[in-house]
Structure 1
Amino acid sequence: MLSRRQMLLGLSSLPLAGCAPGMTRRGTVTASPFGQLPDGEGVTLYTLANAGGAVARVMTYGAAVTSLTMPDRNGRLAEMVLGLDDLEAYRTRSRNFGTTVGRYAGRIANGRFMLDGREVRLETGNSRHSSHGGPIGFARRNWQARAAATGAALRLTLVSADGDQGFPGELTIDVTYSLTDDNRLCLDFQARTTRPTVLNPTHHSYFNLSGVPGALIHDHLLMVEADRFTPFGPDKLVTGEYRSVAGTALDFRQPKPLGRDIAATEEQMRIGGGYDHCFEIRGMAGRSMRRAARLEHPDSGRAMELWTTEPGVQLFTANSLDMVGRGGVVYRPHCGVCLEPQHFQDSPNRPEFPSTLLRPGHVFRSRSEYRFMTI
């Protein structure tokens, strides 16, 4: 008989969720220690490897992808994501490298919103607004993990208490990472709550398809399947409107180099300090799985497509990054690009945006795939 905590953590004989289409069972998962947190709790690093040699490493702290290697057009494997060397660096210096962000990705204005006629007040730390789920959001928690019996799949589970960072309801959330033999890194979210709450998790890897540590992403070609984006006001809070990308630096309807307009002086680029905007992906009705974006690095021949059920994708080009990263490499502004599938910022205060409300008895589900290929 399973205890309530075991059931909450998903430690049962039920199969792991994952990318069933095209997924094979030839991949493997291995585990190794990755240090201890200040309270003595251990952190584990899991290595997911597929039949072709691609590898994804995921640690329990932050449910974070610490490494992802993919081949170029000549079959040479190289690192695709920014990262750090050890747990202490992730705990004290990370800029959300590869993390699972939640409960709510992005900002909630003034750290408050109305829910069923009651004002909810969130923890904001030293900031005016709630950001990425609060000072101790999901990216700063040690998740429980269970590897699949076969194949390269790993489920991580977190139980977030009622009132955690001010959010109502005890929330039990799973994220399952699957690495398929056709080089897809798949993420499946599932969550339940004991009280009405809001939820907007996302994945926060910084990608660089060149395979050259510290290289800028200006030469990467990006296409986004979006005609509109959600603009910021001067305080970098969304205004609640949808605005056409036409005639702006945010027009990625046709592939263009990320560096072409990244220093544009138009208002939205000045407010964001570069690209830091959420796009409304076409075909949102029904939340079907569809392509959100395509990123290419012509020199290496690598390409990556993001497919998702989410209504939006946040484009962020590491505009203020300045630190020493993995292997002593200097990470500078624009040396990585995030493509974060999610709902829109401040949706709990913006009825014009798709709802992020989750009620008891309902199950939140979301799927995203980062599909790697060569050109």
Structure 2
Amino acid sequence: MPRFFSNRIWLLSFSALACGGMMSGGANARPRVQVASVAHLPNGKVVKAVTLSNDHGLKIRILSYGGILQSVEIPDRHGKIANVALGFSTLDGYVAHNDDPHFGAILGRYANRLANGTFTLEGKTYHTPINNPPNTLHGGFDSFDRKLWTIVGTGSDQSGAYVKLKLVSPDGDQGFPGNLTTTVTYMLSADDSLSLNFKAKTDAPTVVNLSTHNYWNLNGEGSGTIEPEILQVFSDRYVPTDANSIPLGTLASVDNTPFDFRTPHSIAERLRSRDPQMVAPRGYDKCWVLNVPPSKTLYLAARVSDPRSGRVMEISTNQPGLQVYTSNSIDGRYVGPSGHAYRQGDALAFEPEHYPDSPNHPDFPSTELKPGEVYDYTTVFHFAHD
């Protein structure tokens, strides 16, 4: 059986993050990177796919459109390879449909919600598109997941393979102030960890909250429900919200609530709870307050395992919060590479980020970015099996 970490802060060491060991014997996994042109957008621009792989059987595919993590292939306890990330099999699927599920996308400028599409910064009020009435969700209609990113670097050595993507968001883009230059670096390490490093700079005061929106099913994409999966979240508090998923302004204890994952529990155990905080979003869709102060040090935020496949994933970050979502709005409209339709509860999404609507809550950790400052946050997904 996989071992679980106790409910306390764990300092992440890339070389020591082991939860069951490597996917296969030996630390020398020979990470590699490949780049290929795969499709054209309606405007004729070329979309590229970057594949990061190693000899442990891991293969990660990233699209320059939306910075999308299209697939994550990893072995189970018997060595069987499967894609554990939900998504579309072609670029057309992302262009036509991904404004709703945001499969695998980079979220920006502001991940999660802004109440009524409004925030005030240094005495001036800004308005952003209402794409999730009555709020702005994940940056608006034409957000980062609908942009063509530029590949500015790739490389590989014995420790890892990486691709660095860049996007310049002009002043006024989706109502946000300042010219914002963002880079996202995906790296697959020899120890079977996939890291995403986000950096951003601005030439005027603005707000920034970047994250990734991957949908995970450790039994395999298209295999059905994630209810048997076992989740642990290293958090004593969460962010209660109203019926529109906007924070009430307080942080609540997880004690005696469906949000207490300080010890491991199956997703199914309390998924159908009558707790009002579960009823409105039709499942889990909350931001957990991580048990660490914001810093540049990575800490373990959550761990999920699948008893059917034996696959295990740990999420580490230096963000202050972790949004966990049980794909409550997925309703059969989308079909993945497996040929199977996705339905409610078929995946877990983990979004390491600042709290929702932070610009409108002065007591929350600030998301303001000023000229001369660097937004710099990292998330790591470590894969293993029992």
- TM-score, with normalisation over the residues of structure 1? 0.92
Shift of 1:212: 5.7
Where do 4+ consecutive residues of structure 1 move more than 4 Å? 19-25
* Deviation (angstroms), 1:230: 0.3
Where does 1:135-154 land on structure 2 (aligned, <5 Å)?
A: 135-151=141-157, 152-154=161-163
Aligned mates of 2:111, 2:342 — CA distance in 1: 23
2:212 corresponds in structure 1 to 203
Report Cα offsets for 1:221-263 as digits up to 9, x if no partner: 0000001000111332111110111111111111000011111
SS at match of 2:280: helix
Matches within 5 A, 1:142-291: 142-151=148-157, 152-211=161-220, 213-291=222-300
Query: Would the aligned equivalents of 1:200 and 1:343 in 2 still touch at CA under 8 Å?
Result: yes
2: distance between equivalents of 1:101 and 1:109? 17
1:353 aligns with 2:357: no
User: How far, CA to CA, are the matches of 1:285 and 1:170 in structure 2?
Assistant: 25
| Paired amino acid for 1:111 | G
Letter in 1 for 2:298: M
Deviation digits for residues 200-221 of structure 1, max 9, x if unmatched? 0101110011126232100000
Equivalence for 1:64: 68
Counterpart of 1:329 in structure 2: which amino acid?
H
Instruction: State the Cα deviation string for residues 5-60 of structure 1 (Å, max 9, x = none).
Output: xxxxxxxxxxxxxx995497831111222211111111111111123221000001
- AA paired with 1:33? S
Tell me whether 1:363 sits opposite 2:369 in the alignment: no
Q: Partner of 1:291: helix, strand, or coil?
A: strand
Q: Distance in 1 between matches of 2:296 and 2:280?
A: 30
Asked whether the equivalents of residues 221 and 338 of structure 2 are also in contact (C-alpha less than 8 Å), the reply is no
Q: TM-score, length-normalised on structure 2?
A: 0.89
Per-residue CA deviations over 1:263-297 (Å, capped at 9, x if unaligned) read: 11110001111000000000124352100000011
CA distance in structure 1 between the partners assigned to 2:132 and 2:324 by the alignment: 25
Name the structure 1 match of 2:87.
Answer: 83
Q: Which amino acid in 1 is paired with 2:180?
A: L
The match for 2:113 is 107
Q: Which residue of 2 aligns with 1:318?
A: 327
Larger mean CA deviation between 235-244 and 133-142 belongs to 235-244
Equivalent in the alignment of 1:337 = 348
Counterparts of 1:101 and 1:20, CA distance in 2: 26
- Structure 2: which 5+ runs fail to align? 1-11, 16-26
Distance 1:262 1:20 in 2: 33
- Are residues 125 and 286 of structure 1, via their aligned partners in 2, closer, same or farther at CA, if it must alter by over 3 Å? closer
**Residue type matched to 2:88 in 1?**
L
Question: Measured at CA, do residues 212 and 102 of structure 1 come closer, stay the same or move farther in structure 2, by a change above 3 Å?
Answer: closer
The corresponding residue for 2:38 is 34
Distance 1:285 1:45, change over 3 A: closer
Letter in 2 for 1:312: G
SS of corresponding position for 1:269: helix
1:307/1:226 Cα in 2 relative to 1: closer, same or farther (>3 Å)? same
What whole-Å deviation, never above 9, does each CA across 1:72-96 have from its counterpart, x for those lacking one? 1222221111011111111112211
SS at match of 1:90: helix
SS in 2 for 1:89: helix
Q: Which runs of 5+ in 1 are unaligned?
A: 1-18
Superposed displacement of residue 62, structure 1: 0.6
Partners of 1:327 and 1:285 lie apart in 2 by 39
Equivalent residues of 2:76, 2:310 under 8 A apart: yes
2:292, 2:244 → 1: CA distance? 30
* Amino acid across the alignment from 1:174: T
Give the whole-Å Cα distance in 2 for the aligned partners of 1:281 and 1:287: 14
Q: Is 2:40–2:47's contact at 8 Å kept on the other side of the alignment?
A: yes
| Aligned-partner residue type, residue 117 of structure 2 | G
Structure 2 counterpart of 1:16 = none
Q: Which amino acid aligns with 1:163?
A: G
Amino acid at match of 2:129: E
Determine if contact 2:37/2:48 at 8 Å carries over to the other structure. Answer: yes
Q: Is the 8 A contact 1:214 1:330 kept in 2?
A: no
Aligned length: 357
